[in-house]
């Protein structure tokens, strides 16, 4: 039988251990970082993800008085770079920059690790609506001027209209599947290697429509060769306040956006993760960073890890719906 003295001793021991653990975790954040930090970007240099990482790296190096290096490790649909961060020590010195593809891979590929167990969200750097656009129509048909016109055309001739995306399971593809289900229409999906290929085919009239970020379509809007019909998100985009949201137009379920965010190893000490989040928020909200991101057609995000997790959960819902309906299959 446990005596009262033994119980008190055990409680004191537990409390002492908890205090030591908390103090150790806090001490790990004191003076962090005291050596160079590496941001792994699983995409080639030159794209938006690379630009976002380099913009933040420069600002963070000024905050921390330590070098912040950007390490491009493209390949295997971001798995090469992501795996590098998973294998790195969980000390906060190796950070992953990625997009929603990291979530899509979790459900559609045979993964060498469990993304949701090995990594935890740190902060969303940017949150950008996806724009549903149309280009030159196939067979020289008139370009739809509204979402309603597009939907009516799709219903009149199921499968005749086409949709370009940068790959099966991509954000654009998932949004297309949701649109087909919500509007009860059938559109032929044509996957490409990247958004630039989709733009070319929109301009040539080889595909009718697509979901794309603003930065991809903005150069072609003044000429009228590409037209935006609607945007995802809960509110009209700051970059294009004249564009209605799907919600406004009566098409529900399109509140998610394309994001670029940062992740760290799951076992990173809590105090270190908190410091990273605070400092990265300060960097994102600085006038210099905000101006550079907006110049890229991106909306600075920031916020807590919990808010970032909510954004991720919306992507998870889209993917699970596509899998459940049989429109997307794991490899």
User: What is d(CA 64, CA 152) in angstroms, rounded to the nearest whole number?
Assistant: 55
Q: In terms of C-beta distances under 8 Å and separation of at least 24 residues, what long-range contacts does 149-155 make, across chains too?
A: 150/209, 150/229, 151/183, 151/185, 154/183, 154/185, 154/186, 154/187, 155/183, 155/184, 155/185
User: What is d(CA 155, CA 150) in angstroms, rounded to the nearest whole number?
Assistant: 9
Tell me which CATH homologous superfamily contains domain 33-128+257-324.
Bordetella uptake gene, domain 1 (3.40.190.150)
Digitized pLDDT (tens) for each residue of the chain, 331 residues in all: 556 565 555 555 554 444 444 444 455 567 899 999 999 999 888 888 899 999 999 999 999 999 999 999 988 878 899 999 999 999 999 999 988 777 777 776 778 888 888 999 999 999 888 999 999 887 677 889 999 999 999 999 999 999 998 877 778 888 998 899 899 999 999 988 778 889 999 999 999 999 998 888 989 999 999 999 999 988 898 888 999 999 999 998 888 788 899 999 999 999 999 999 999 999 999 999 999 998 888 889 999 999 999 989 888 887 888 778 777 776 6
**Residue 82 has which token pair?**
């992501």
Closest CA to 229 of 242, 215, 216: 242
**Residue 9 has which token pair?**
């001793």
**Residue 256 has which token pair?**
């998610």
Residue 247 sits at φ, ψ, to 5 deg, of: -60, -45
- Apex CA 94: angle with CA 91 and CA 97, to 5°? 135
What is the fold of 130-231?
A: D-Maltodextrin-Binding Protein; domain 2 (3.40.190)
Say yes or no: do domains 33-128+257-324 and 130-231 share a fold. yes
Element (H, E) at 197: helix 195-204
What was the pLDDT predicted at 19?
46
3-class DSSP assignment, residue 99: strand
- Domain spans, the chain: 33-128+257-324, 130-231
What was the pLDDT predicted at 24?
47
What was the pLDDT predicted at 20?
43
Q: Which residues pair with 190 in a beta bridge?
A: 164
**Residue 101 has which token pair?**
């593809």
CA-based end-to-end distance of the chain? 56
């Amino acid at each position: 039988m446990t005596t009262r003295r033994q119980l008190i001793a055990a409680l004191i021991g537990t409390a002492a251990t908890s205090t030591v653990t908390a103090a150790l975790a806090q001490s790990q954040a004191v003076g962090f970082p005291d050596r160079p930090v590496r941001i792994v970007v699983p995409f080639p240099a030159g794209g938006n993800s690379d630009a976002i990482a380099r913009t933040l790296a420069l600002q963070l190096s000024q905050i921390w008085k330590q070098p912040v290096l950007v390490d491009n490790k493209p390949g295997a649909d971001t798995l090469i770079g992501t795996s590098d961060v998973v294998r790195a020590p969980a000390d906060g010195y190796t950070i992953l920059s990625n997009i929603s593809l990291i979530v899509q891979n979790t459900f559609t590929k045979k993964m060498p690790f469990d993304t949701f167990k090995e990594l935890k969200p740190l902060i969303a750097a940017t949150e950008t609506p996806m724009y549903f656009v149309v280009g030159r129509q196939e067979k020289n048909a008139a370009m739809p001027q509204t979402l309603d016109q597009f939907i009516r055309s799709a219903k009149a001739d199921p499968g005749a209209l086409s949709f370009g995306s940068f790959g099966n399971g991509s954000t654009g593809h998932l949004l297309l599947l949701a649109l087909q289900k919500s509007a009860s229409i059938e559109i032929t999906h044509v996957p490409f290697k990247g958004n630039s290929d989709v733009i070319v085919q929109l301009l040539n009239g080889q595909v009718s429509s697509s979901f794309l970020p603003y930065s991809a379509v903005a150069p072609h809007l003044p000429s009228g060769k590409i037209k935006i019909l609607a945007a995802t998100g809960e509110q009209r985009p700051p970059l294009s306040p004249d564009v209605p949201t799907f919600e406004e137009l009566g098409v529900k379920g399109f509140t998610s956006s394309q994001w670029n965010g940062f992740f760290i190893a799951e076992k990173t000490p809590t105090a270190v993760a908190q410091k990273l989040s605070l400092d990265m928020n300060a960097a994102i909200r600085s006038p210099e960073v905000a101006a550079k991101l907006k110049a890229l057609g991106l909306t600075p995000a920031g916020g807590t890890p919990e808010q970032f997790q909510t954004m991720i959960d919306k992507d998870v819902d889209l993917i699970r719906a596509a899998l459940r309906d049989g429109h997307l299959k794991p490899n």
